[in-house]
Structure 1
């Protein structure tokens, strides 16, 4: 699509059928009459949301019989939409290109055939329990509750936006110091310093200013050639620090650079003044297979060039990944690249040196290669702990120089410093290029970005870098282009680095800035839903869908070179099914080629608009929003605030909704686990209200069963403890009542016998592992190993436990255990056991509620981490309960910038 950036009117797409430029009143009225009789459902909520899967494709079974979770929503064979069946060639076509049916069985209440009619499993509906409601309360349908809650939050947001603007307008009239607390460009103002670390870190005896906040475009994946030249930085600005005055490395590691307290840089487009690093780590070279290990073709061993053999080894090594190697698309792409390499490198030969024409994939046998690599893996796993530690230490020592860089004199951790090894591209979902060969990246493909006066890393012997540049407006250290999709790969700083922290901070501050304008945006797009101009109406409808249902904006795709994934602006006719009176079904390949399904209720005007956008003569393959693209949409949004784009709505809605829900919580006398569940309940509500859901994991039921067994096990031990009380004092039965000593109704004799056998086996396994570990230590210290007799002596403990259980089952009595057991001690044990059971039941309930919600994804990407920190401090819950060590390092700025008494609000 060609776009004239100076023209406000979007040009029509050149491909497919195009909507009329204007919407006539007669068409509007006709659509109104068509939907006047039906009663619309509450708008703005999702009924079903997430990837679609089929039962038989949930789990891969590896060669060793173990189960393995697949990529979310992926299928080993494409879903067949052809009612009359399909051949293998059609199966290899991406789903987004196949969403057509030979026959439409149209429902009486629908003008489209919902894809949900096919033999697939839809995402589950939102439940009252997941939303924290009592499922027994059926007075009001859940969809109504969700819609009402969402409407209330939006109404509150509108009032807040008006109040903020009024306050800013009032303060602007006064000649007071400007309040920059909400500015995107101002660093966080921390309330205190920790460990005596200065807010402005000194380097070479002079104070360094903060790096500020990076521009949104600075880390763009666009090729360097396409970027405008930024010009060279001044030599004085990029001069390296003098070695004589550098701080000790140990000091650098301990010191925390509190960039959020540091003064703002004058020019925040300049990311660094000095930059030193050691480049990248390349994967090891290919080790040819032993001469006795060969690929078989039609049962005969085949000799290949080293290059072709390496490609064969990629496939052979992953035979147990049936999800990939049995996928027709994967096989086809691999075979094309493999045979092309064979032709390029002299062909395949038999034992006598005669050429063999490899024409059929089905005749290839990779088992000898798989067996070779599998044996090597088993050998690697069988190494002693000491050997594994030594190998890891050697690897860490080799990679240590690449793990950090010197950024303006500070030591910053580098993230992905390893160049990806060659292999077979897998992709996610139904990627059309799965199975293609990812070629080895050479130094000649890599561009190094480094300080002008810094020492350039030495490339491997016999090689040279593609180019060296000194772009201090970029935050990447190295870059190359991969061969599969032509995408640019960047070596960036680690997530916990100050640069990444500033990027996260700016992202959430931009979402906070949107809080001031959200009412105007919603008011404007609601008005434009009835605009006469088709371009305006399409834009308003797209913003509505992005705001209400968290649809990604979507980008233009090159159909030949990229997976045909779509977003809101690039939706095709076949991706949208309309179900009167106001239900819309979205079904398309979303991000990472995952098939995404979203069934939503929309405003009646939006439903009518989509009907107009799908109006004949449009058909499958035609664009829904044919007078709109993502660039135009984002350009329109910047009229409300600088830097606003479609993706900001997702962050804003999640953070604002979470903020609202947390404010509603009251401090009560709850346990830590109950408080954690309280937080997770709010997080789940955010996922439901903002449409961030996922498919239930293949291993969820097994995990829940395991947790159930743990709870039963604790109940069993509690019952045994009560029986010990009777052993000490039989009168307790009369004193406490017979009911107190009865077996829990969840437990039966069959389960108890199985559990006892499990406990005995668990004891044996622990003893055997401890014995093996002790022997490893003895050998490492140059001492003799213990003999098998010692193990047998140790195992007697498990034998005694087994005998004890048999006796208890026979006599129906449990002898008191421990030193000097008393009724008081046993009662204390029962109290502890009750608390343990209560906590485990809360955890199980929490996990069950989380099965459709990726809480981790929300916490990392969409919910402002400062909200979690505020909850943690307000409710006295350790932050470790919400953020792992990695996340605590990533969000140091959020944790450190919120004071104990700070009443911070999103």
Structure 2
């Protein structure tokens, strides 16, 4: 859309940079066209390559931002261990290790897509696409994307036409954006789509999670608290609940998705009761014989300084962090500050030790101490572990649930983060900084007026208590590293979180009605004479086509210099004729985003214009645009539409179209799951939800390959047993049927046999120890060691059996009453297991470059997965874990077994 706004209405570049001209003359456009290469442009709309930038091939001599690469550590591969062991941190020496959250169960909508792991992401050509040929993978992928966009435009026109035929509702329902920004009322679209700006400096978007203090609300005074408190305080609600009460809660489940939508949902609750937050335990000083060493001398520290030393010493196993120079520098600076504050370090004679060099610090004794504690904790009897868990659960029970409008709701993160060293993600500049212990005096409680205010820990008091029923958090505090506010929220399976997810996906569905007009308008504005309009259109193209985040300006003195589309700098974009754009910048969570895209020729020309001299490193590319203006323009099309909705829409709509192309099949469940994953993978690729290949991928694939080999060996042994029972079968079935699989050789077989023998010994020993623990717990006498030796004879017999088989090349039939029929049935089962594992193997290999979990959990409407599950008769458990089934219960229940639901 062209604009006739004056120059004064245009947002300006930052005052210390070089600004683009406010308008674009026809001569400037022609000049860009004349400078174009005669090379044939590649098809636009897909990622063409992930690899090092060839600077000699660039038309603009711009170097990448120089972020350090993380070296991947080689994994130890044991060829005969074909079990798919999950990762464990049990051996880590951290005494205060936090519980990890699996990727599958992460519910964050901001999970980073591309992770840095030693090398840049591999090329899209190498990613399994199913329908892409080896000859022209880019063309086919681009054509697929173009077809989906055409279908979207056609569908949008149909939806609007159908809407005109229906009578308009008497009253529109007001909605609220599911994430951060409230929905604005529809406004008449301005020609330039931007607001007036007088300061000349970009403004950040507002954050609805800002603390109340920043909104101008005063903290409640003690007198006000007393006045608000009821005369007779109600008893705390979650202490102990009977089974009957739990069953009653189950029967009276709150099915919010079946209720009519509220006209005004700004008020989140009417009554709210909870028991506050759980603080981490106090620091336990080191034993007298465990010291920090400086230049070979053991030193005594004040307890506060000692605690900080243990933060570093307990994580020496995490070489990725402790060997990072930035991590070391930040830790050492904070450590010296705490030493200065607490009187410094002293030797055994009380003489002051001046700690000046980090390299002279030796944390080995501290590390060994915590490693010993961890190993001792891991090796405790099962009964002791069980008793401790029961005790911990009972202690945490009062904090795990709240009462929200009288309903029992689970609290997500009721624990206050323990002190430690900030790690951050990617190349965060503050990694290694000390995270201080959060005190009750820093915590603000949000609770109902009539509820009993939870007690602060003895000797302490809360920072403030408020009764804000428009907020969804229960407690809040500010952490010291980045100054961010941390919130205690309800769990992912709560009604409030489910409603937020529902609104997010409904907002994306609403975008279906308008996507054709939006794309048509920004395509037209790519050639606008007004620089602000052209920049906005180019940014919208990049956000829509390549799922770039909109981005906000950061306070680079205090935060990592991360950027998004609207805040890209000159040095973040490199251009290569005829239409390749290379992005290299630190994205969300300081994760390096590196990718090469083929773009529409006009977009390439625009970016070249936005980088036109005198612009240089440090200057904004989109100097006449920020996210606030972009979102305001988008809301002129649809209430509440923001740049981030495009990621959700594109992923969900693409998945919807791909699933519609699938035909019902009677294939095994494993093949149906692969069908779904293939669609999910295409979504991740088409929407550029990519990741680097994990350091452990090769080891995992080798283990999976060994599992398949192990089954093939078992299958061969079973066939040989058939020959042992009936030697005539060789002539009947043919000699080829009984030949050893080509994947197996004698060296591998002998190594595998050794593994099987050791595995049997280990299982026998562990079972013996577990049975003895159980007998002791029940007051019985443990079994003697000689019984274990007797049981271990079976492993020795197996070893001797393998030796005989290797020598004679014959296998004696095993099992109770063996028969050819039974062995044939066993072979069929082994074939099925091999086929299932081979499908898993192909699936994992195809998934190594794409973030399927990110797409499935955060961007693809979960109702699409539910529909696929119903249509293809695959248990929903195959796609969603228990945690995710709870999170997406609204999707499972609202769609049910209806395979006709469409996004």
Shared fold (TM-score greater than 0.5)? yes
Residue 672 (1) aligns with residue 662 (2): no
Asked whether the 8 Å contact 1:44–1:548 carries over to 2, the reply is: yes
After superposition, the Cα gap between the structure-2 partners of 1:12 and 1:54, relative to the gap in structure 1 and judged at 3 Å, is closer
1:127 corresponding residue in structure 2 = 125
2:255 corresponding residue in structure 1 = 258
2:683 corresponding residue in structure 1 = 686
1:129-144 matches, within 5 Å, as 130-133=128-131, 135=133, 138=135, 141-144=136-139
2:319 corresponding residue in structure 1 = 322
SS of the residue aligned with 2:257?
A: coil
Range with greater deviation from structure 2 (42-51 or 23-32): 42-51
1:98 corresponding residue in structure 2 = none
Residue 545 (1) aligns with residue 533 (2): no
Which structure is richer in relative contact order (CA contacts within 8 A, separation 6 or more)? 2
Asked whether the 8 Å contact 2:71–2:118 carries over to 1, the reply is: no
C-alpha RMSD over aligned residues: 3.0
Shift of 1:226: 2.6
Range with greater deviation from structure 2 (861-870 or 371-380): 371-380
Asked whether the 8 Å contact 1:295–1:369 carries over to 2, the reply is: yes
1:452-601 matches, within 5 Å, as 452-601=449-598
Give the counterpart of 1:148 among 140, 143, 152. Answer: 143
Asked whether the 8 Å contact 2:10–2:22 carries over to 1, the reply is: no
1:311-350 matches, within 5 Å, as 311-350=308-347
1:827 corresponding residue in structure 2 = 824
Give the counterpart of 2:761 among 749, 759, 764. Answer: 764
Alpha-carbon separation, structure 1, partners of 2:823 and 2:613: 78
After superposition, the Cα gap between the structure-2 partners of 1:303 and 1:61, relative to the gap in structure 1 and judged at 3 Å, is farther
Asked whether the 8 Å contact 2:24–2:531 carries over to 1, the reply is: yes
Asked whether the 8 Å contact 1:214–1:269 carries over to 2, the reply is: no
1:197 corresponding residue in structure 2 = none
Range with greater deviation from structure 2 (364-373 or 7-16): 7-16
SS of the residue aligned with 1:739?
A: helix
Asked whether the 8 Å contact 1:239–1:453 carries over to 2, the reply is: no
Shift of 1:130: 1.3
After superposition, the Cα gap between the structure-2 partners of 1:243 and 1:328, relative to the gap in structure 1 and judged at 3 Å, is closer
Give the counterpart of 1:168 among 136, 145, 163. Answer: 163
1:704-723 matches, within 5 Å, as 704-723=701-720
Shift of 1:134: 5.8
1:94 corresponding residue in structure 2 = none
Shift of 1:14: 1.9
Alpha-carbon separation, structure 1, partners of 2:843 and 2:647: 24
Asked whether the 8 Å contact 1:240–1:454 carries over to 2, the reply is: no
1:9 corresponding residue in structure 2 = 10
Shift of 1:901: 3.5
Residue 227 (1) aligns with residue 224 (2): no
After superposition, the Cα gap between the structure-2 partners of 1:230 and 1:733, relative to the gap in structure 1 and judged at 3 Å, is farther
2:359 corresponding residue in structure 1 = 362
Shift of 1:623: 0.9
Alpha-carbon separation, structure 2, partners of 1:242 and 1:897: 37
TM-score (norm 1): 0.86
Alpha-carbon separation, structure 2, partners of 1:157 and 1:241: 58
Alpha-carbon separation, structure 1, partners of 2:88 and 2:535: 37
Asked whether the 8 Å contact 1:215–1:269 carries over to 2, the reply is: no
Alpha-carbon separation, structure 2, partners of 1:493 and 1:770: 41
**How big is each residue's C-alpha offset from its partner over 1:14-69, in whole Å with a ceiling of 9 and x where there is no partner?**
2321111111211110001111623211111111359999998112899xxxx999
TM-score (norm 2): 0.86
Shift of 1:854: 1.6
SS of the residue aligned with 1:412?
A: strand
Alpha-carbon separation, structure 2, partners of 1:794 and 1:655: 56
**How big is each residue's C-alpha offset from its partner over 1:834-859, in whole Å with a ceiling of 9 and x where there is no partner?**
11111111111111111112211111
After superposition, the Cα gap between the structure-2 partners of 1:367 and 1:120, relative to the gap in structure 1 and judged at 3 Å, is closer
Asked whether the 8 Å contact 1:402–1:414 carries over to 2, the reply is: yes
SS of the residue aligned with 2:293?
A: strand
Residue 615 (1) aligns with residue 612 (2): yes
Alpha-carbon separation, structure 2, partners of 1:348 and 1:244: 47
SS of the residue aligned with 2:644?
A: helix
Asked whether the 8 Å contact 1:10–1:535 carries over to 2, the reply is: yes
1:694-705 matches, within 5 Å, as 694-705=691-702
SS of the residue aligned with 1:172?
A: coil
Alpha-carbon separation, structure 2, partners of 1:351 and 1:548: 65
Matched positions, count: 817
Asked whether the 8 Å contact 1:213–1:268 carries over to 2, the reply is: no
Asked whether the 8 Å contact 2:70–2:119 carries over to 1, the reply is: no
Give the counterpart of 1:275 among 272, 276, 298. Answer: 272
1:80 corresponding residue in structure 2 = none
Shift of 1:816: 0.9
**How big is each residue's C-alpha offset from its partner over 1:718-751, in whole Å with a ceiling of 9 and x where there is no partner?**
1111111111111111111111111111111111
**How big is each residue's C-alpha offset from its partner over 1:650-669, in whole Å with a ceiling of 9 and x where there is no partner?**
00000000000000011122
Alpha-carbon separation, structure 2, partners of 1:878 and 1:825: 30
Shift of 1:231: 13
Range with greater deviation from structure 2 (464-473 or 253-262): 253-262
1:86 corresponding residue in structure 2 = none
Asked whether the 8 Å contact 1:128–1:135 carries over to 2, the reply is: no
Asked whether the 8 Å contact 1:17–1:617 carries over to 2, the reply is: yes
Asked whether the 8 Å contact 2:560–2:590 carries over to 1, the reply is: yes
1:59 corresponding residue in structure 2 = 73
After superposition, the Cα gap between the structure-2 partners of 1:838 and 1:822, relative to the gap in structure 1 and judged at 3 Å, is same
**How big is each residue's C-alpha offset from its partner over 1:286-309, in whole Å with a ceiling of 9 and x where there is no partner?**
111122221111111111111111
**How big is each residue's C-alpha offset from its partner over 1:759-816, in whole Å with a ceiling of 9 and x where there is no partner?**
1111111001101101110111122222211110010111111111111111111111
Shift of 1:250: 3.8
Alpha-carbon separation, structure 2, partners of 1:316 and 1:120: 25
Give the counterpart of 1:300 among 297, 302, 322. Answer: 297
SS of the residue aligned with 1:599?
A: strand
Residue 728 (1) aligns with residue 725 (2): yes
Alpha-carbon separation, structure 2, partners of 1:772 and 1:762: 15
1:80-119 matches, within 5 Å, as none
Residue 806 (1) aligns with residue 803 (2): yes
SS of the residue aligned with 1:645?
A: coil
Shift of 1:9: 2.8
Range with greater deviation from structure 2 (669-678 or 778-787): 778-787
After superposition, the Cα gap between the structure-2 partners of 1:22 and 1:134, relative to the gap in structure 1 and judged at 3 Å, is closer
Alpha-carbon separation, structure 1, partners of 2:300 and 2:787: 52
Give the counterpart of 1:400 among 394, 397, 414. Answer: 397
SS of the residue aligned with 2:128?
A: coil
Give the counterpart of 2:773 among 756, 772, 776. Answer: 776
SS of the residue aligned with 1:47?
A: strand
1:403-482 matches, within 5 Å, as 403-482=400-479
